[in-house]
Structure 1
Amino acid sequence: MAEAAEAVDAPGIVIAVSHRGRRTVHCGGSAAPPAVPRDEQRYEIGSASKTFTGLLLAELVGAGRLSYDDVAAHHLSPGRAPYPTPRNPATLRHLITHTAGLPALPADFYPQALRRWSTDPYGGYPAERVVAAYLRHRPRHRPGTRWHYSNFGASVLGHTLAAATATPWEELIARHVLAPLALTGIRLHPEDPEDRKDPEDPGRDGPEPRAPGTAGPGTDATGHRPNGLTPVPGLVMGGFQPAGAVRATPGDLLTYLEAHLDPAGTPLESALHVVRRPLLRRGAGHRHTHTLTWFQHPSPQGPLYFHAGATTGQQAFIGFRPATRTAVAAVATRRIRLRDTFVATAYALLSEDPG
C-alpha cells in the first residue's frame, strides 16, 4: 500500500483496504500532513457516485415501486394519458447501463460551462434543465444497441426516480441507501464554510468533536489542479448530482464496499446481489462486462468489480473482489488527465493475490 501511494503524485492520497474483515489504511502525499488526518476527511468520488444511484434503483425496483423497463420519459412527463410517444424511449435500465443513446452531456451544457470549466462546470445547470434537455433530445441510436458513457443518462435516471416517487433524489439516497448501510460521513454538497466556525469565537475556525472514522463540519478535503499546488473549490454538481455528488470518508467507502462483499444480513441484501449480476458486454471482442452499476473484469481469483471517478480537483477508485473478500478505496487530491497512474495503481492493488 505504501508503494502504491508513492506511485501517485498528489498532495494527498489515502488508500484503504479491507481484506477478510480486517481494515488497513495508508495515508501519503506530497503536501504536509493536514490538521485533520487525511483518512478522516471527506473526498469527492465523482462518477463512482453512480454506483449509489444504481443501488438505489435496484432497491426501489426490488420494493415494487418501479420497473427496470419503465420508460423514463413517462415519469418525467406525467399527467398526459395516454402517454405520448417520447423522443427517447429509453428505460431505467438503459439509463444506468449507459445504453440510452445519450451523449456524455447535453449539447447546451458546454457553452455555459466552458468559462468555468476548471472550477464550477456543473453549478449553472440545474435539474430542471437536465430534464428539459432529455425530453427534447433525439437519440442517434436506438436505446439498448450501443454503449456510451453518459453523465447525462445517470443524472436523468436520478431525476426520474425522484419524479416517480415524488421524493427528491437526495432524500431517496439518504433514506434507502445511506441510512440502511450506516454511511454516516457521506454528504452530497460541499460543506458550507460557515460550518467551520467555532461557536465560541465566530472569527476563528474550530474543529467539531466527531467519532473516529466519521466526518464532521470542516473535514472536506481540498482538491488541486494538475500542478498539485493550486487549490480548487468544492464541486457543486447542479442537476448532475445523481452522476457525481457523493463525498465520503475512506472509512465510509470501505463500509459501502464491505456490504457488497457480504450482503447477507444487510438491509439491502437483495439489491446488493442484483448489482453484481452481469448485464451486458462491450468493447473490443465484448470482453468488458457491465453490471447494473459496476465494471466487472475477470481475474484468476474470481471477478472484480470497480468504478473510478474524478472531479475538478480530486480522484477516486472503489472496487471489490468477493472471492478474496477484498475491497479497495483510494482517493487523491489532484486531478490528472494525461499519463495518470492513480486508477491503474489502485486497480493493480485490487488485482493482487492477497494470499
Structure 2
Amino acid sequence: MPSDGSRHLRAAPATAGGAPCVQSPESAPDDAGPLRERLAEAVTASDAPHVVFALSRRGRRSVVSGGTVPSPPLARENLRYEIGSATKTFTGLLLARMIASGRLTGGEPAAALLDRGRRPGADPVTLAHLITHTSGLPALPAAFFLRGLPAWTTNPYARFPKDRVVDAFLRHRPRHRPGTRWRYSNFGVAVLGHALSTATGTPWEDLLTDQVLRPLGLGATTLRADDSGLDAPGHGRDGVSPVPAFDAGGFQAAGAVRATPHDLLTFLEAHLDPTGVSAHLAPALRAVRRAVLRRGIGHRHVHTIAWFRHPTDGGPMYFHSGATLGHQAFLGFRPDTGTALAAVCTRRFRAHDPFLATAYALLAQE
C-alpha cells in the first residue's frame, strides 16, 4: 500500500490519472454516472491490492476495478480470481442438473456411492444433506488441522487430498441425525463432489466442466492455477504479503473455482434469465432459486440448493461469499431488479473486513 494512502483505480479501457471508469458493452443506462460512482466507492472502500466490482443490470454490464497497488500488466477485470466457498454455487447447480436430468434424486446415500457394497443404515447422509449443510459433518475433518498445520499459512488444503476426505467421511459418526441440524461444512460439500464423481464415473474437474462451465460458455473459469499469467496474485491480511495460489486438495467441490469477473457475471446472468441458456441447464437454474431449507428464529434464514436467500423490499436476494488465504469473492443476484453482482479482491479475510459488507449492501440497495 502506498505510504500516502492513495488508491490506484482502473477499469477497461484504462484512463489517464487513475480515475475509475466504467465498461459497458451496450448503451449506458440513464443512471450510468451514479452507478459508476457507487462502484468506484465500493472499490475504494474495499481497501485491497486488487479489487473488481462487476455489475449487470438487465443485461447491461458495468465494471470498475482498482486497488492499493499499481495496476498489473493485464487489466484487473481480465484476471482470474479465487472465489473460495462461492464455488458451492457451481456445485449446487451441478447437483440440480443431475437431479433435473433424472440421473440422481438427491436422496442417494453418499457412503453407498463412495464405498460400493456398504449398507446405508437407518439414517444415511444423502447428497441433499451434503449440499444443504445438514449432514451432521463438521466444517472440516478432525484430522485436517494436524495434517494441514505445517502448511497452515500457505496451502493447508493441499495436504488433504481426495482419499483422505473420503476416508474421513466413511469413518465419521455424526452426533445428530442427518437432516435435523444446520452446520456449514466445507467437508460435506467436498464429500458431495467425490460422490458425484463416483456416481458418474467422471473426474470432478471434467464433470463440472462438461455439465456447467462449457454449457454456460465460461471459458475463462478453471479449478487450478497455471502459468498463463491470468491468475491474480493473492495477498495476506496486511494487503502486502504475497500468498501462493490456492490448492484445494480434496476440497475442490467446496472451493476450487477461479474465474474472471466477466465469467462470473455470465454465470449470474444465467440465473436471472435461464431462457437463453442450454435447455439442459435451464431447469436446474430455476431449481436453485427455490427455497429448500428454513432455519433460525422465525425461519428467517432461507437457503436454496446453492444460495443463501435474504428478503428485500422488492423480492428475494440470492448470494454467496467465499475466501481463500489470499482472495475474497461475493456473488449475488436479484430477480426483482434484474441485477447481478460479482465482486472480487485479493486480500485474505480479516476481522471487520469492509469488502463483504460493501458488496452485500451494494446489491441490497440496487
- TM-score, normalising length from structure 2? 0.87
Q: Deviations over 1:139-163 (max 9, x none)?
A: 0111110000000000000000011
Give the distance between the partners of 1:137 and 1:226, measured in 2 at CA. Answer: 34
Q: Deviations over 1:268-298 (max 9, x none)?
A: 1000000000011123332110000100000
1:294 maps to which of 300, 307, 318? 307
The match for 1:347 is 360
The match for 1:207 is none
1:143 maps to which of 138, 163, 178? 178
**CA contact 1:87–1:136 (8 Å) conserved in 2:** no
Give 2:357's aligned amino acid.
Answer: A
The match for 2:339 is 326
**CA contact 2:93–2:285 (8 Å) conserved in 1:** yes
Q: CA deviation at 1:3?
A: 0.9
Name the SS of the counterpart of 2:322 in structure 1: strand
Check if 1:61 corresponds to 2:99: yes
Give the distance between the partners of 1:283 and 1:40, measured in 2 at CA. Answer: 40
1:102 maps to which of 111, 122, 137? 137
Name the SS of the counterpart of 2:237 in structure 1: coil
Give the distance between the partners of 2:348 and 2:355, measured in 1 at CA. Answer: 10
Check if 1:44 corresponds to 2:82: yes
**CA contact 2:330–2:344 (8 Å) conserved in 1:** yes
Matches within 5 A, 1:257-268: 257-267=268-278, 268=281
**CA contact 2:111–2:120 (8 Å) conserved in 1:** no
Identity %: 59
Q: CA deviation at 1:87?
A: 9.2
- Report the number of matched residues: 326
Check if 1:92 corresponds to 2:127: yes
Higher relative contact order (CA 8 A, sep 6+): 1
Name the SS of the counterpart of 2:251 in structure 1: helix
CA RMSD between the two structures: 1.1
User: Which runs of 5 or more structure 1 residues have no equivalent in the other structure?
Assistant: 196-216
Q: CA deviation at 1:138?
A: 0.3
Name the SS of the counterpart of 2:178 in structure 1: coil
Check if 1:9 corresponds to 2:47: yes
Name the SS of the counterpart of 1:264 in structure 2: helix
The match for 1:315 is 328
Q: CA deviation at 1:187?
A: 1.1
2:267 maps to which of 245, 250, 256? 256
2:72 maps to which of 12, 34, 37? 34
Q: CA deviation at 1:5?
A: 1.0
1:125 maps to which of 156, 160, 163? 160
Give 2:214's aligned amino acid.
Answer: A
User: Which runs of 5 or more structure 2 residues have no equivalent in the other structure?
Assistant: 1-38
**CA contact 2:51–2:66 (8 Å) conserved in 1:** yes
**CA contact 2:50–2:346 (8 Å) conserved in 1:** yes
Q: CA deviation at 1:114?
A: 1.7
Does 109-118 or 318-327 show the bigger shift?
A: 109-118
Give 2:310's aligned amino acid.
Answer: H
Q: CA deviation at 1:86?
A: 4.6
Q: CA deviation at 1:124?
A: 1.0
Runs of 4+ in 1 over 6 A off after TM superposition: none
When residues 29 and 278 of structure 1 are mapped into structure 2, their CA distance, relative to the original with a 3 A threshold, is: same
Name the SS of the counterpart of 2:96 in structure 1: helix
Give the distance between the partners of 1:156 and 1:7, measured in 2 at CA. Answer: 37
Give 1:38's aligned amino acid.
Answer: R
**CA contact 2:307–2:318 (8 Å) conserved in 1:** yes
